Amino acid sequence: MSGLTYKDAGVDIEEGAVAVEKMKQYVKETFTKGVLGGLGGFGGMFELDLTGYTKPVLVSGTDGVGTKLKIAIMKDQHDTVGIDLVAMCVNDVLVQGAKPLFFLDYIATGKLESDKVADLVKGISEGCKQSGAALIGGETAEMPGFYSDDEYDMAGFTVGIVDKDKIIDGSGIEEGQVLIGLPSTGVHSNGYSLVRKLFFDALDLGIHDRVEELNCTVGQALITPTKIYVKEVLKVLEQVSVKGMVHVTGGGFIENIPRILPEGMGVDITLNSWPQLDLFNFIQDKGKIQLEEMYKTFNMGIGFIMIVDKKDQDKVLKIISDMDEKAYVIGQVKTGHGVNLC
């Protein structure tokens, strides 16, 4: 009788090596001039180009995709949630004015399937290309007995750079300034525990069931990747003094906007000042969810917010429009506290 092997215990090293070969092409597509070395080293190396910086500051961020991964697993579509992973990280460091430099990922699964892992990395690569970040490292862990065979989880980490004098921290926010909202593509990567409870428990729908109000299947409505805002925001920052920015993630408007407001400042949000997404209307109606709960849980169609002086609002709108993107004036800063929906 031969002795036990690692494969007998559920870990297939050969399949892992195949996965690395399949993902290599996607990783290389993200490489920028700062990348040193190739795939397979023990550490990812990145050479900083500090031209134009007087006091460079590195800004880091880490996040995951959350239970949206359940949608990908149910739908058996794995090539887009990597975009969500990158977006959740790079949009966060962007808030402080940082340009993303590089990204690293971590993927853990019960049973490693090379095609599935390659699809996950394909999505991560696409997110990195959209944000200008190089994918310089990652880890794939096969963990039998910890995850079921078809389950996986993902985490990401990014580093960006901004000059110390150009850090955006909200300290310049004053009464009368306006909030410019950049539209979301849907639920993004937050609120999925509530979304899944509504669609699959309360409404007893299946992932492939068609919803007439949304003109698509449940899976199609819920798998749409998170939008990455790096290119249009960095373009605005080149020309306009932005006073504060918000990535509308978990906690929605209610929790995220106050994070960047100085003491004694609040905001009025003008409802219906941007196009409403059918998905949020459906969720609110079918779930009989109170308006404040919706704005405390979801992005409600606005994924990123910039606060600028009123005199600069038209310039910002034009910059974004010239990039074939959309933006809307959605509110203003006032003396007070928190977020007022009006």
pLDDT of residue 50: 95
**Same domain, yes or no: 283 and 194:** yes
Where do we find the tokens 């003396």? 335
Which structural domain range is residue 296 located in?
178-341
Q: Considering the domain boundaries, does residue 266 fall inside one? A: yes
Q: Considering the domain boundaries, does residue 96 fall inside one? A: yes
pLDDT of residue 182: 98
H-state helical runs in the chain: 13-28, 68-75, 81-94, 114-131, 192-196, 218-223, 230-239, 252-256, 278-287, 291-297, 313-322
Alpha carbon distance 336, 95 (integer Å): 23
**Same domain, yes or no: 144 and 185:** no
Q: Considering the domain boundaries, does residue 171 fall inside one? A: no
Where do we find the tokens 């050479």? 47
Q: Which of 166, 197, 229 is the last residue of a domain?
A: 166
State pLDDT tens for residues 58-106: 999 999 999 999 999 999 999 999 999 999 999 999 999 999 999 999 9
Alpha carbon distance 190, 256 (integer Å): 13
Where do we find the tokens 């974004």? 320
CB 305 within 8 A of CB 179: yes
**Same domain, yes or no: 162 and 183:** no
Q: Which of 135, 166, 197 is the last residue of a domain?
A: 166
**Same domain, yes or no: 120 and 92:** yes
Q: Considering the domain boundaries, does residue 4 fall inside one? A: no
Q: Considering the domain boundaries, does residue 3 fall inside one? A: no
At 145, which CATH number? 3.30.1330.10
**Same domain, yes or no: 63 and 197:** no
202: three-class secondary structure by DSSP: helix
pTM exceeds 0.85: yes
Q: Considering the domain boundaries, does residue 252 fall inside one? A: yes
**Same domain, yes or no: 28 and 52:** yes
Where do we find the tokens 């905001």? 267
Query: What is each CA distance from 107 to 35, 118, 159, 212, 272, in whole angstroms?
Result: 22, 11, 19, 35, 39
Over the chain, what is the mean pLDDT? 95
Q: Give 33's pLDDT tier (boundaries 50, 70, 90).
A: very high
**Same domain, yes or no: 133 and 225:** no
Q: Span 50-62, mean pLDDT?
A: 96
* CA 328 from centre of chain: 20
State pLDDT tens for residues 194-216: 999 999 999 999 999 999 999 99
Q: Which of 116, 144, 166 is the last residue of a domain?
A: 166
At 300, which CATH number? 3.90.650.10
**Same domain, yes or no: 93 and 137:** yes
Among left, alpha and beta (phi > 0; psi -120 to 50; other), residue 95 is alpha
Q: Considering the domain boundaries, does residue 200 fall inside one? A: yes
State pLDDT tens for residues 269-297: 999 999 999 999 999 999 999 999 999 99
**Same domain, yes or no: 208 and 141:** no
CB 237 within 8 A of CB 145: no
pLDDT of residue 9: 80
Structural domain total, the chain:
2
**Same domain, yes or no: 293 and 159:** no
pLDDT of residue 1: 54
Q: Considering the domain boundaries, does residue 248 fall inside one? A: yes
pLDDT of residue 172: 94
**Same domain, yes or no: 69 and 140:** yes
**Same domain, yes or no: 239 and 105:** no
pLDDT of residue 39: 76
- Which of 122 and 40 is assigned the larger pLDDT? 122
